[in-house]
C-alpha cells in the first residue's frame, strides 16, 4: 500500500543548535492508503484505508477509467464513496461494471479534502481490462 501522512503541524522548541521534534499530533496524524485495483467477473474493484484524526473534512475513494487505447482522453470518475467523520476504516469504492464489448484502463484514487480543497491523494496500479481487450 502507498501511504500519505497529513501535515498537521509541529510543536517544537527551536533553540540554538536544537533539533526540531515533531509533536505527537504529527506522529499520530491522519493517513490515507491505497490498495490494488483488480478486475473480477466483469467489475473493476478498488479499496483503501483511512485514519482521519480531524485533519480532513472529507475522504473519497473513486474508480477512475477511460477507454483503451485512450489516445490522450482523460480519466473520469465512474464510482465514488466518501466519508466525512473522524475514525479508521478499510473500505472500498463501489464496484464498476465495465460496459460490454469495451476495453478500459482503470485505477482507484483516494483523496483527502480540507475546506473543499484536495490536500493529498494516492493512485493505485492501473489495469487494462474488459471484454473488448
Mean pLDDT computed over every residue of the chain? 82
- Please check whether residue 3 is in contact with residue 33, taking contact to mean a CB–CB distance below 8 angstroms: yes
Mean pLDDT of 119-124: 96
d(CA 130, CA 68): 10
- Please check whether residue 122 is in contact with residue 102, taking contact to mean a CB–CB distance below 8 angstroms: no
State residue 28's pLDDT score.
57
Q: Please give the C-alpha separations between residue 69 and each of 72, 79, 106, in angstroms, as whole numbers.
A: 9, 21, 12
pLDDT confidence band for 72 (50 / 70 / 90): confident
pLDDT confidence band for 132 (50 / 70 / 90): confident
Mean pLDDT of 75-103: 95
Mean pLDDT of 48-58: 95
Grid cell digits, residue 132: 473488448
pTM for the full predicted model: 0.77
Q: Which of 59, 53, 55 is nearest to 34 (CA)?
A: 59
State residue 70's pLDDT score.
81
Asked whether the predicted pLDDT for residue 107 surpasses 80, the reply is yes
Amino acid at each position: 500500500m502507498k501511504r500519505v501522512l497529513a501535515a498537521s503541524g509541529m510543536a517544537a522548541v527551536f533553540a540554538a543548535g536544537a533539533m526540531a521534534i515533531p509533536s505527537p499530533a504529527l506522529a499520530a496524524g491522519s493517513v490515507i492508503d491505497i490498495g490494488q485495483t483488480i478486475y473480477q467477473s466483469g467489475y473493476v474493484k478498488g479499496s483503501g484505508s483511512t485514519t482521519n484524526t480531524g485533519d480532513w473534512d472529507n475522504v473519497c475513494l473513486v474508480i477512475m477509467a477511460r477507454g483503451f487505447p485512450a489516445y490522450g482522453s482523460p480519466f473520469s470518475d465512474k464510482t465514488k464513496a466518501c466519508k466525512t467523520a473522524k475514525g479508521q476504516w478499510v473500505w472500498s469504492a463501489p464496484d464498476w461494471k465495465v460496459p460490454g464489448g469495451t476495453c478500459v484502463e482503470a485505477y482507484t484514487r483516494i483523496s483527502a479534502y480540507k475546506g473543499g480543497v484536495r490536500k493529498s491523494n494516492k493512485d493505485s496500479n492501473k489495469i487494462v481490462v474488459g471484454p473488448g481487450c
